[in-house]
Structure 1
Amino acid sequence: MKSIVIAGALAAILGTASSRPLNFRRDYITEIVYVTETLADAVIYVDQDGVPYSTSTVEQSTTATSVEVVTTSEVTPTVTPAVSISAAPVVVPPSAAPAPPASSATVPSFSFVAPQPQPSSAEVKNESTTTAAVESSYTPPPPPPSPTTPALAPESSSPPPAPPSTAAAPTSSQAPQADKQNDNGLPNGVTYDPFTGSEGNTRCKTDTEVADEFSRMGSYKVVRIYGMGCNIIPLAVQNAQKNGQMLMGGAYLSNKGNGEDLSIVITTWKSTIDQYAGGSWDIMKLFSVENERVNDRDMTASEVVDAIRRGRDQLRGVGYNGPVGAVDTVPATLDNPSICQASDVVMVNCHPFFDQNTAAEDAGTFVKGQIERVKTACNTNRVVVTETGWPHQGDANGKAVPSPDNQAKALSSIRSEFTSDVFIHNSFDSPWKSDWASSFNAERYWGVIQ
């Protein structure tokens, strides 16, 4: 009670001083108050990521002494008193804090490695049950200037509405559950990028080069492209039609400043389909809004889920009714089941070369085992392997040795396990990429067509 009275008196005095000047002198003497209280301190334990997982309390007696003596003072109109209140923290001695329970924190079975400066197909596997993701398999540089490449508009935080269409579109952005149970897979395909040149001197492939390479990919009935750089969407549609091929489309989203605008990618697909395919979307069988962005810590799972829903709604609005989802690595997918749930079909990249215990002839067995894990975690019976393969040159990674002979063995092993829903990475070598230790100096040499 005394403390309350004193606090009230002080507040009244200070309040008066702050509202109008005092021109008289008075003596104020406060009482000395000793208060002893028993406090319960909260101790919060967090894991290595700063996420709280346990709390406890420790009782501690604290004696506070408040001594305030105000002597004769004079307040003039030009002086504005300042009041500062601070509380000293109570420190719990180490001996008083209980050790956190050993079973309270969940330790992940793999760790992420910060992305390297250049794209990589590295996805390190130490064992068939423990997987550590490293770097994206495809990070295109900003497309070099090209007379056939339309200028990209600046990235927009709120995408413009999709172009109008007479096609009926579902009102819900949720993934149709029936699609997840569809076992009708695609013929095995191959991945393709439109960049060439050398490290530091990257350029777009010419229209003639793209046409020639699509012709050389003729034995693959589905070709995966990753974005819209280098005018690849209209070039891919025209050449795939000529060769009787289908396409997997995608957008290259990124928070690092070199990403594409999802709405512009979809608008480009719409105009291309109208111009070269008579408005029929039959040529495109899958669409992914990103590639390994969660694995690379470039995007969060919630950002990817939002992109899937936005992309699906916009694609439905322009007439495409096929599966829409996102591509990430096996470990990133296992750790973020929300991506599975938001996708019409689950899509993952899985590279046996980055498991040091897997030899080339066992590549198919390894991929099969990883895909079974994804099926269980995502509660689905269909998973599309959007990248897998083996390099023909580079450094050894334990039992995984790159060579032309081992590449042939690995591809044979993969094909023996999968007759559909697999994309071999990559169609041609990528001399424009760079290498580093974690890629085992093999990043340029994943091409399967020589």
Structure 2
Amino acid sequence: MKLGSALALSGLLVIGTVAHPLNVKRAVTTEVVFVTETVAEAVVYVDENGAPYLTSTVERVPSVPSTSVEPTSVASSAVVPTSAPAESPQPVPAPPPSPSSSDVPSSFVVANVEPTSSAVLPPPAPKPTFVAPEPTSAAPAPAPTSEAQVPAPEPSVQAQEAPASQPSTSSSDSFPLGITYDPYKGTTNNVDCKTTDEIAADFDTMKDYGIVRIYGNDCGQIPVAVRAAKKNGQKLMGGIYAPLQDVDSVVSALSDAVKQQNGGSWDIISLVSVENERVNAKAMTASDAQSTIDQARSALRNAGFNGPVGAVETVPAVIDNPGVCSTSDLVLVNIHAWFDPNTKAADAGKFVKGEVARVQKACGNKRVVVTESGWPHQGDSHDQAVASPDAQKAALASIRAEFNSDLFLFSSFDSLWKSDDPSTFNAEKYWGIL
């Protein structure tokens, strides 16, 4: 786009007459004073013995005085004044023609006799910032007086422009695409904990995700998760499942795991949540959530963790309780397009994107991290929301198309231990994607 005008104008620089000025301002002009002087150039043709057989003269055209000279291009050094003179000057002449093969035998030599005086020639033009088209044969540019006066061509502006930067999957201001994890197994009536080896094996299955979200310290999962994440080069989103889990006890477990499994460095923990949809479920008030955030942040800071702390809620709970997002260091929200009957699986990503925009508006444009988003592969379809393996694949592709960071896919594995009710459309067990 930047070169459009310049290249269009460059097409006008075909050498015609100096009576048509180029009304374009240039960054560099050269002050020149011309001396008007008419001289003749004599051309003597001699035969192979040096005997002259023809003499002709070509009269040079007087130079045109001008207060400024604009360069045209590397290929053309003809003078184009910035303003038209009072009287129309003579056109720039073509160089005298050389005799053709029909006029002069091939063995003849053409000798040019230099005149005793010549007109003052302008200095070489400044280097242009673009390459103009070659002049037409109707008005060829005069040959330069010497090679030293020919400015070296420079790359065009287009060639100097840097290529567009490519988007990255994460940066210091965002978390890589993540996945959620819980350490339970069994059925609704027989819930059990996975073993240490099973948890470690699950982390190996999730190793393609840069960050894993855990919800608390059930089944003693924190030290196992820290060790497995370190092995796989992953980060963790820690969790305190308040009010069912004690804040100080979970902070202590996190601190111990960091010391024992990661050399005391908290860099393996990217952020910590203090509850999960408890305000939405009316199990906590917004004030309770804010107090829990403050308590956890203080305990974590004392333990050496300086990352973000916040409460995880649904979109309605965040919008209705702006104090929760203002107290949180980041706005943490679960968004599931599945529960909107008007959204197809293939449109899940756009739905989540729209909900993020609503939350940002309600929270003063604070950064939003989607802590759960997915689609079930089994359950009761409702209106446009269809539960099937194909629908899950379409939904995940749609979400990935809209997000490559600051989002956790839900969930790593099916949760057969969960229970269902009409609000979950019998799909609560079947959100696993691995």
State if a TM-score over 0.5 links the two structures. Answer: yes
CA contact (8 A) 1:285 1:322 kept: yes
Task: Indicate the residue corresponding to 2:391 in structure 1.
Answer: 406
Aligned residue type for 1:277: N
> Is residue 222 of structure 1 aligned with residue 211 of structure 2?
yes
Structure 1 residue ranges without an equivalent (≥5): 1-181
- Distance between the aligned counterparts of 1:373 and 1:399, measured in 2? 22
- Alignment equivalent of 2:351, drawn from 356, 362, 366: 366
Query: How far apart in 1 are the matches of 2:382 and 2:305?
Result: 42
Q: Which has the higher contact order (CA 8 A, sep 6+)?
A: 1
Aligned residue for 2:370, secondary structure, equals strand
Shift of 1:419: 1.4
CA drift of 1:208 comes to 1.2
Partner of 1:435: 420
What is the number of equivalent residue pairs in this alignment? 264
3-state SS in 1 of match to 2:298:
helix
Answer whether contact 2:181 2:412 (CA < 8 A) is retained.
yes
CA separation in 1, counterparts of 2:172 and 2:427? 34
Following TM superposition, by how much is the alpha carbon of 1:195 offset from its aligned partner in structure 2, in angstroms? 0.5
The correspondence for 1:270, drawn from 255, 276, 282, is 255
AA partner of residue 380 (structure 1): N
* C-alpha distance in 2 between matches for 1:381 and 1:360: 28
Match of 1:260 among 245, 261, 269: 245
* SS class of match (2:313): strand
> Does structure 2 retain, via aligned residues, the 8 Å contact 1:183–1:381?
no
| Post-superposition offset of 1:435 | 1.6
Q: Distance in 1 between matches of 2:382 and 2:265?
A: 45
Q: Deviations over 1:254-310 (max 9, x none)?
A: 3xxxx0100100011111111111110000001011000000000000011011011
Runs of 4+ with >6 A deviation: none
**Equivalent pair of 2:356/2:368 in contact (CA under 8 Å):** yes
Which of residues 168, 182, 190 in structure 1 aligns to 2:179? 190
Provide, for residues 311-366 of structure 1, a one-character-per-residue CA deviation record: whole Å limited to 9, x for no partner: 11110001000001110000000000001110111110000000000000000010
Residue 83 (structure 1) aligns with? none
- 1:398 deviation in Å? 1.1
Aligned to 1:201: 190
Work out which of the residue numbers 402, 411, 418 in structure 2 matches 1:426. Answer: 411
The one-character-per-residue Cα deviations of 1:95-136 (angstroms, maximum 9, x if unpaired) are xxxxxxxxxxxxxxxxxxxxxxxxxxxxxxxxxxxxxxxxxx
Q: What RMSD in Å do the two structures reach over aligned CA positions?
A: 1.0
Q: 1:389 to 1:344 in 2, by over 3 A?
A: same
How far does the alpha carbon of each residue in 1:141-179 deviate from its partner, in whole angstroms, 9 at most, with x for none? xxxxxxxxxxxxxxxxxxxxxxxxxxxxxxxxxxxxxxx
The alpha-carbon distance between structure 1 residues 183 and 210, as it changes in their structure 2 partners (threshold 3 A), is closer
* CA–CA separation in structure 2 for the residues paired with 1:324 and 1:438: 29
Structure 2 CA distance for aligned equivalents of residues 282 and 314 of structure 1? 17
Amino acid at match of 1:275: Q
Taking only the aligned residue pairs, the percentage that are identical comes to 55
Give 1 or 2 for the bigger CA radius of gyration.
Answer: 2
In 1, distance between residues paired with 2:197 and 2:172? 37
> Any idea what SS the aligned residue of 1:282 has?
helix
Higher strand share: 1
Shift of 1:183: 7.9
Matches within 5 A, 1:348-359: 348-359=333-344
Matched, 1:232 2:221: yes
**1:317 matched to 2:306:** no
Change (3 A) 1:183 1:208: closer
Contact 1:425 1:447 in 2 (8 A): yes
For 1:249, the equivalent position in structure 2 comes to 238
